[in-house]
Amino acid sequence: MEKAYGYIRVSGKSQIDGDGFKRQEKAIKEYAKVSNFKIETIFKEKAVSGTLDETERPAFQEMISMILKNGIRTIIIEGMDRLARDLQIQTTLIAYLASKNITLISARTDQDITEAVMSDPMKRALVQIQGVFSELEKNLLVRKLSSARNRKKAEPGKCEGRKSYHESNPELIAEIKRLRRKPRKGKRLSLNKTLESLNNSGFTTTAGKPFTLSILKNIIYKSMR
């Protein structure tokens, strides 16, 4: 019997205690039973929009981390809308999984989604590109961390600096990314409108003050480095 993980997601906090998780879990377990899979763990993405990529999905990241350690290479979802609702995000996530040789199966359609993607020459090229950039990203991160450690060793008595917003307030970063994401049809929200929305939503600086345009620009600039 082949081992697999389940992945389920609901978009809103009000859905966490609703029927969404139970329905998805039931569909995955029923499919696993008739298809000779043993579900090791079902990872639950709580209140995460279907328009967010893998960097903003803690349960997805935990699942991938486990997969890369223990050799399990199959993920079962209820359906593609539970993976993501945005077509571009769907494609990105599937390409990411395929680049890691991970099989994604839809319980609803009994389809090996990664196999279907790899059979399409254009989509297979996207998977290969995704794999290249995943390795590049990892190598750059390792180099960056190594350089940072070396600089710290070279500065005796240097105290740890103030944490960035990426470290201290990931919810803020996620909200900025959401506001600044360009819709499929229409224009990206302006910086002024983004700033207004952040302050109206109750987000504040580390000093407890409203954000200014210069602070917002600095956060966006650092997130692109």
Domains of the chain: 2-121 (3.40.50.1390), 161-225 (no CATH)
Which secondary-structure segment (H or E) carries 43? Answer: strand 37-45
pLDDT of residue 219: 84
Q: Which pTM was predicted?
A: 0.54
pLDDT, tens digit only, all 225 positions of the chain: 899 999 999 887 767 777 889 999 999 999 999 999 999 999 999 888 878 777 788 889 889 888 888 889 999 999 888 888 777 788 788 888 888 889 999 999 888 888 877 777 766 665 555 545 545 445 555 565 566 556 555 555 544 456 677 777 888 888 888 888 878 777 888 888 888 888 888 888 887 788 888 888 888 877 655
Spell out where 57-197 has E strands: 74-77, 103-106, 111-112
Q: How many CA atoms lie within 13 A of 145 on its CB side?
A: 6
